[in-house]
Chain A
Amino acid sequence: MDFLTLLFLGLMFVGIYVTTMFILLTIQNSDKMFKYPIPNESYSITVIIPAYNEEKSISSTIKHVVNSNYSNVKILVVNDGSNDNTSDIVKKLCKKYKNLKLLDKSNSGKADSLNCALKSVKTDLFAVVDSDSFPANTSLKKLSGYFDDSKMGAVTSFVKLRNQHDNFLTKLQAVEYILMGWSRKLLDFIDSVYVTNGPLSLYRTKFVKKIGGFDPESITEDIDITWNLMRHGYKTSMCLDANVTTVAPNTLKSFYHQRTRWGLGGIQALFKYRGEILRRNLFGSFVIPFVMLSIGVSVLGFILLSLTIGRDISIKLINAGLLKSSNIGIFQKNLVNLTPPVILYLLVFLAISSIIYFTYVLTQTKGRFEKIHSFNNFFNLLFYIFVYLAIYPIVWFSSIFRFITGDYRW
């Protein structure tokens, strides 16, 4: 058995392990997926909204937070040196809403803006809400109950897309967001939620201040803060029923840019926290290896497919061109190979398991998120599994390149 075959079998095993784990967690926790703890006490909350040139959406974001059914809320908008009308719009709204404040500062990035805001936060908890994201009015209440656990450091929400019907790319992302949210909730059952997203996450102020706040050097401060909290032994969690809507990139260029940045942030975090790997806690023994394997399987799988199937396909294509130019039939009946390698059966098994499982997930979430996710197009799901996921590693290559060359631009 050659090296590539061994590598393929290794990747297959990892794929089977992760799929099995998710299916097993789903079966064991099917009745708990959408449940959340009712808070025993009323925590004071500050909602921080960092904004940079968000004149189009800032007003709606603030209104959505104001309309929250959580009573004990302060809102702090951090204007990160916007050169549009963001500041003026917020100033006007400050007159209308007494619990709204504006912090104007020169541009220094999201993490630094959050740290500036954090200095003035006196509440038990604080939420971070992206300035283009609209939390549902019940979300803060649903998230707050998790903090009855004294070790809870951060709780994140389920992100839905407002613009999923823009085009095919946003439809695919809508599928992805559902699957990401679902899998993040499953990871919650093994205390391994490793990202508290930017659109809406709630943090315990005391813990975040204790660990030094957000890292301005990190290109994805939401991954970094979560890992930092986990490293210090604090818990993270996810509420699938607390949702927030946001806007996904609807052009390939903006999508590629966003995902490259996310990937770069992930690699940056792996590098920063590499010393924690295989420590005797879940963060070191599962979360970091899990993220490393996710990237590794994706990248190696892509290389492997390119080396094997890609090589064969390119040879067949070139041969087809040569045969055509020589007036020879492209398909020689004798030479058609109807005996696929048995190793492909494992891949087929994995693909079929994924299709069934993902279909189940979409069916489960459809009833709850019907207004936003009326998605039931099987073709889109197949395209997502066989094309989107297959070519997504290109983003990882770009992220790795940016990491190696030190290109940390937002």
Chain B
Amino acid sequence: MVKKVFVQTLIISLFIFSTGFYLGDYIESQRADYIQDLSFKSETNRLDLNTQISMFDKLDCDTIRSETINLADDTYFDAIELEQMEESEVYSDKLYEIHRKYDLTRAIIWKITDDQSRCFEDYNIIVYLYQYLDPSYENAIKQEYFASLTSEIKTNYDNTILIPIAYDTEINSLKLMMNILELDDETQLIINNEHFVSELISKDNLLNLINTN
């Protein structure tokens, strides 16, 4: 009688647990598929931009700016969704490779804004380099703050292009750019490729570094 109860309990518990486990895995897969679809779109846009780069010499600034800003904004909002789902991901790490693709796209956007700086003179380019893998407690606090601060600036100032990039997802082109600019692997804000902020900064002090017109 007693043994029977333990066995019955085990069977029911295994059923509930495995149902929950597979349901969880299924929900995560659905989320990953959704993000995958977004990344296909982003990948196409990135390839399109790559093609356009070869023609930049023949294009006017308005076109270059418009194409770059559109991709930067799309990538920014898609990546927020991606990161939120990554935070919730438990059963697998399917989203990591997608994250790298977004980082690559954002590295390209950063490169364009640097190469074609003449077209972005009236714009603020804020590159936010952050640690993706296992940030320390202190760094997590700093990154949470930088994410909110830059989001606030982007929301309030239309002439802001915000490019958050994870510096530790092994994107070689990004590493090369960081080497050229002599940047360390650390969480930091790069304002218009001129100002480098790696410590907590108030909103007012940050506004002093950007063009708020």
Contact = CB atoms under 8 A, between A and B. Distances in A.
A71 B90 CA distance: 64
Interface in A27-86: 28
A20 B90 contact: no
Given A328-B149, A339-B88, A315 B17 contact: no
A327 to B, nearest CB: 6
Contacts of B181: none
A343 interface: yes
A17 B88 contact: no
B84 interface: yes
Interface stretch (B2-10, B43-51, B106-114): B2-10
Contacts of A323: 145, 148-149
B90 A1 contact: yes
Contact of A342 (B5, B24, B155): B24
B24 A343 contact: yes
A328 B207 CA distance: 12
A329 B20 contact: no
Contacts of A97: none
A171 B164 CA distance: 52
Contact of B149 (A5, A191, A326, A339): A326
Contacts of B9: 17, 20-21, 24
B87 interface: yes
Contact of A328 (B16, B28, B91, B148): B148
A290 B38 CA distance: 48
Contacts of A28: 5
Nearest to B25: A342
Nearest to A285: B6
A12 interface: yes
Interface residues of B, number: 43
Contacts of A339: 31, 84-85, 87-88
Given A318-B141, A342-B24, A346-B24, A326 B90 contact: no
Nearest to B134: A2
A374 interface: no
B59 interface: no
B144 interface: yes
B151 interface: yes
A169 interface: no
Interface in A237-289: 282, 286
A332 interface: yes
A13 to B, nearest CB: 5
Given A315-B144, A335-B151, A337-B88, A326 B23 contact: no
Contacts of A21: 5-6, 9
Contact of A17 (B13, B85, B91, B155): B13
Contact of A332 (B87, B90, B141, B152): B152
B152 A328 contact: yes
A342 B141 contact: no
Contacts of B17: 12-13, 16, 346
A16 B152 CA distance: 43
A368 interface: no
Interface string B146-167: 0111011001000000000000
Contacts of A1: 90-92
Contacts of B195: none
B72 to A, nearest CB: 14
A187 B81 CA distance: 48
A43 B156 CA distance: 85
Contacts of A318: 141
Nearest to A29: B5
A122 interface: no
A5 B137 contact: no
B151 A345 contact: no
A342 B90 contact: yes
20 contacts: A9-B21, A20-B12, A20-B13, A24-B5, A25-B5, A190-B6, A286-B6, A318-B141, A319-B141, A325-B202, A326-B202, A328-B148, A328-B203, A335-B147, A341-B87, A341-B90, A342-B24, A343-B90, A345-B20, A349-B20
Interface of B: 2, 5-6, 8-10, 12-13, 16-17, 20-21, 23-25, 27-28, 31, 77, 80, 84-85, 87-92, 137, 140-141, 144-145, 147-149, 151-152, 155, 200, 202-204
The 8 closest A-B pairs by CB, nearest first: A342-B24, A341-B88, A21-B9, A319-B144, A337-B84, A17-B13, A343-B90, A326-B203
Given A319-B148, A334-B80, A335-B148, 18 more contacts: A16-B13, A20-B9, A25-B5, A322-B141, A322-B200, A326-B203, A327-B203, A328-B148, A335-B147, A338-B84, A341-B88, A341-B90, A342-B23, A342-B28, A342-B90, A342-B91, A343-B90, A346-B24
